[in-house]
Structure 1
Amino acid sequence: MHLARTTVLALAGLLTLTAPTPAAAAPAAAPRLPAPTGSHAVGVTSLHLTDASRHDPWVPAATSRELMISLWYPAAGTRGRQQAPYVTPKESELLVKDAELPVAPDTLSKVRTNAFTDAVPAGRKRGLPLVVLSPGLGSPRSSLTSLAEDLASRGNVVVGIDHTYESVATAFPDGRVATCVACGNKDADFGEQVVRSRAADVSFVLDQLTGAKPKWRGAALIDRSRIGMAGQSVGGASSIAAMVRDKRIRAGANLDGTTFAPIPEGGLARPFLFMGSPAMHSPGGKDGSWGRDWKQLTGWKRWLVVTGAEHASFTDVPLLAEQLGIDLGFAMTGARSVEITRTYVAAFFARHLTGKPQPLLDKPSARYPEVTFGG
């Protein structure tokens, strides 16, 4: 997660946004994420997974692909459980250094979340949809925590993936910390490489959660027939690549990501949501990839443009920046961007993973005038 030098993957390569201006004085209180809007308490746990069937795509010397994932889920009770850390102190140190933030190195590790570590999972067997979340390049899985906690509070299991060597910092249980090797890649087909690798990561994680010997104790709660995926930036672009590769993913959402993986000539008939900022992703905007792919989406689809949003508005970045006294210059507040992202993504998955009608997705809403329909 880049608070100061938000890195985005675009067709031309890596683009770096202008560094923000720090306010005169940062507040003393630790930043906190907004409370989830659903009815369930939220638990979270982290798992270290190893795919021995493939080499790491960014570090050839690594003969297996190691991943860290977080699972957010409805919890039966939180008594005696600690609120989960946002990131580890070492991850915070590297993120703060990379973004050149005017804060203490451990600041991000003190962000107050709403989930409780290793709380007992709640739900009936095969009763909960599963939503995969993939972050932007350089960003850890924690950058989508506000969205993950909210989806879990609404009755979903949510898995956030740290795509190793594609994040500024990924801490492993044995103390190792992987950095963003991929961020320095200059290959002309880098975008395609990333989404292809992430699609393989997603399929492997689904195998580990829904296979014969699942790695998570709450895996029996997951309804294997109701799996969705969303992501921000290249994580959103990877939703298309993952859906093309893996038919288990019933619905996908791209939050402001330039797309790279070609959709097969026959099209993609499963539900898909494009939701983005005006600069890149309004019809006729700078990024033509959505218009190209829109024609290949043959099932239910929506193209939503959020006025006032920037690339990082679909993450926790603006919310935390404001609380840290850092002015990103965004027109939309962090609280509002989190509310809009949560509301529309939750509606999308409620409609397509649970079958519940969602009028919000059918026409503009007076409650959210920032959101316009494109395509």
Structure 2
Amino acid sequence: MNHTHFRRGLTAAAALLALTVGVGGAPAAAADEPRGTPYLPAPTGPHEVGTTSLHLTDGSRPDPWAPGANSRELMVSLWYPTASPSGPRAPYMTPTESELLLKDGGITGVPFDVLSTTRTNAFADARPAGPARGLPLVVLSPGFTKPRATLTTLGEDLASHGYLVAAIDHTYESVATTFPDGRVATCAACEVPHDEAFWKRLVTGRAADVSFVLDELTGAHARRNGARLVDPSRIAMAGHSVGGASAVTSMVADPRIRAGIDIDGTTQVPIPDSGLSRPFLFLGRQAQYTPGSGGDAVATWERDWRGLTGWKRWLVVTGAEHASFTDVGLLAEQLGIDIGADLPSATASRITGRYTRAFLELHLRHRPQPLLDKPSTRYPQVKLCTPEAGICV
């Protein structure tokens, strides 16, 4: 697997944040914030959004990356609709996480806590709203080395449309994961040789993380904030990069996941010969994932496409880069930082959110979505591919 784009995305994020110190104020930032404060766009749905963090411990298995750790600890962010929008907006990440992310990108001479100042839209620990067992659940998994915070825009937007969203920090696979007692886990997995066995180990471990989180949120004794809202019959998963690749592995391992999305992620473990009949969406860069174009990345999608035996779509986005689908690209776009994409990242982010939601509306709420069946004049950058014919229109 080509790992270069992971590091490139991080460097782009650090570069854009370095420039926030000297660039004029962002239009959506609050009036009382310093000029140049990074911010996330407002969600598009009708609901206000609340969020909370969960600290979960799986005592049934050892940590795959920390020798001697007999349990697996995870941090999870929940986003959900709220009818009580009051109090402070949630922090984007901690100052320590911001510092380690910037240092990992080799950036110096800027305030290392700048990422922690990013303005979000969700209200911290607001009371969840909705009927018991009434909301679909969407699990989000970030790219390798990336904190769960980089999927905040997508999480907030889905919650504003009535979804409960759980983004997982896969411990020791991110540059920094902070626990409630102040401990910070860094990227132990980064020190492991990244051969084929490593990537298989990574996505298999992520599938176990996802299943454990589902147990915690849907089990008979779930008491966590928002867990009572989860409809266990309507669960989907989406991820970016290796998080998207993990969606395939997680669905194979856990039948509770009814639908999945791989956003710009080269898949690792092939779908079994028996196939995967649940709905699946591939969404990625045209430059990397056009059918028939050759290369290892697109070859994995072509392989898995044949194993998907149910509803499926393959969409590519013209002009997007790997970081375009996450908050990394969004923050770059608002400050005019070049991440190598021809498509403005704000547009790519809107496309990611809109097509993700269309997929979820169709398969978790059974609402027809013509957007997924033909090219859209509103989003001409999105091409609908027919891999068997090697064409995208």
Decide: shared fold, TM above 0.5: yes
Superposed, 1:57-136 pairs within 5 Å as: 57-79=64-86, 81-101=87-107, 103-136=110-143
Contact 1:26 1:325 in 2 (8 A): no
Q: Tell me if structure 1 keeps the 8 A contact 2:333–2:346.
A: no
Q: 2-side partners of 1:17 and 1:170: how far apart?
A: 21
TM-superposition CA deviations, 1:162-216 (whole Å, max 9, x none): 0000001100000011111112221431111111000000000000000022141
Counterpart amino acid of 1:305? Answer: V
User: Within 1, Cα distance between the matches of 2:213 and 2:329?
Assistant: 29
Q: Does the 8 Å CA contact 2:81/2:162 hold for their aligned counterparts?
A: yes
User: Partners in 2 of 1:120 and 1:190 — Cα distance?
Assistant: 40
Task: Tell me the equivalent position of 2:149.
Answer: 142
**What residue number does 1:51 align with?**
58
- The one-character-per-residue Cα deviations of 1:207-229 (angstroms, maximum 9, x if unpaired) are 00000221413211110000000
Judging changes above 3 Å, is the alpha-carbon distance between structure 1 residues 330 and 13 closer, same or farther for their aligned structure 2 residues? closer
**Displacement, 1:100?**
2.9
Aligned match of 1:202 in 210, 223, 229?
Answer: 210
Structure 1 residue 326, shift from structure 2 partner: 3.5
Determine helix, strand or coil for the equivalent of 2:320.
coil
Q: 1:26 aligns with which of 17, 23, 26?
A: 23
Tell me how far apart the structure 2 counterparts of residues 196 and 75 of structure 1 sit (CA, whole Å). Answer: 34
Task: Return closer, same or farther for 1:115/1:147 CA change in 2, 3 Å cut-off.
Answer: same
Percent identity over paired residues: 60
Distance across 2 between alignment mates of 1:325 and 1:305: 24
Matching of residue 17 in structure 1 with residue 8 in structure 2: yes
2:173 maps to which residue? 166
Task: State the TM-score, normalized to the length of structure 2.
Answer: 0.89
* 5+ residue gaps, structure 1: 1-10
Match for residue 192 of structure 1?
Answer: 200
Q: What does residue range 206-245 of structure 1 map to in structure 2 within 5 Å?
A: 206-245=214-253
* Structure 2 residues without counterparts, runs of 5 or longer: 25-34, 388-393
State the secondary structure of the residue aligned to 1:229.
strand
Q: CA deviation at 1:275?
A: 0.2
After the TM superposition, which residues 242-257 of structure 1 pair with which residues of structure 2 at under 5 Å, given as runs? Answer: 242-257=250-265
Distance 1:146 1:266 in 2: 36
Of structures 1 and 2, the one scoring higher in RCO (CA 8 A, sep 6+) is 1
Q: Name the structure with the higher strand share.
A: 1
Q: CA 1:215–1:170 in 2, change beyond 3 Å: closer, same or farther?
A: farther
Structure 1 residue 362 corresponds to structure 2 residue 369: no
Kindly tell me the number of residue pairs found equivalent between the two proteins: 364
- SS of equivalent residue, structure 1 residue 295: helix
The two structures have a TM-score, normalised by structure 1, of 0.93
1:352 equivalenced with 2:363 (yes/no):
yes
Q: Verify the 8 A CA contact 1:48 1:69 in the aligned structure 2.
A: yes
Amino acid at match of 1:297: L
Report deviation, 1:311: 1.0
CA-based RMSD: 1.6
- Secondary structure, counterpart of 2:80 in structure 1: strand
Structure holding more helix per residue: 2
The worse-fitting range, judged by mean Cα deviation, of 104-113 and 208-217 is 208-217
